Amino acid sequence: MKKRLVTVYTWTLSMALVMMGARWAWAQTATYSNPDIVKWGFLAAALVAGIGTLAAAIAVAAIGAAALGALSEKPELAGRALIFLGLAEGLAIYSLIIAIMILGKI
C-alpha cells in the first residue's frame, strides 16, 4: 500500500512540476510579473496539489477498506459507503481547485 501511495504522490508532484515549468516559461516572457511572486506561487500550487492528493489517497484507502469490510457483513450499507468514499475523494478535487486558483492569481 505504501508503494501505491508513493506512486500516486510522485505522479501528482511530477504533473504539478510540469505545469509549473510551462507557466514559468510563460511568466518569464510577461513583462508585468514579479519573478519572486511567480516562483512562490508555483511552489504553493504544487504543494497544494501534491499534499491534497496524497491526503485523499490515504483517506480513500482507509475508507475503502472499511467499506468493503462493512459490505461483506451488511450489503445494504452500499449507499453510505459510496457517500463516504465520495467525501474522501472530494479532498483531491478541492486541492486541485485551490491550485488552479493560485495559478490564476499569478
Q: What is the length of the chain?
A: 106
Distance CA 97, CA 85 (A): 19
Model confidence pTM above 0.95 = no
Q: Does some domain include residue 82?
A: yes
For residues 64 and 1, is the Cβ–Cβ distance under 8 A?
no
Q: What amino acid is encoded at 104 in this protein?
A: G
Q: Does some domain include residue 42?
A: yes
Q: How many structural domains are present in the chain? A: 1
Distance CA 41, CA 36 (A): 8
Residue numbers of the domain that contains 67: 2-9+35-105
Q: Does some domain include residue 81?
A: yes
Q: Does some domain include residue 61?
A: yes
Q: Does some domain include residue 72?
A: yes
Distance CA 27, CA 3 (A): 35
Q: What is the CATH number of the domain that holds 74?
A: 1.20.20.10
- What does each of the 106 residues of the chain score in pLDDT, given as a tens digit? 566 666 766 767 676 666 666 666 555 555 556 667 777 888 888 888 888 888 888 888 888 888 888 888 888 888 888 888 888 888 888 988 888 888 887 7
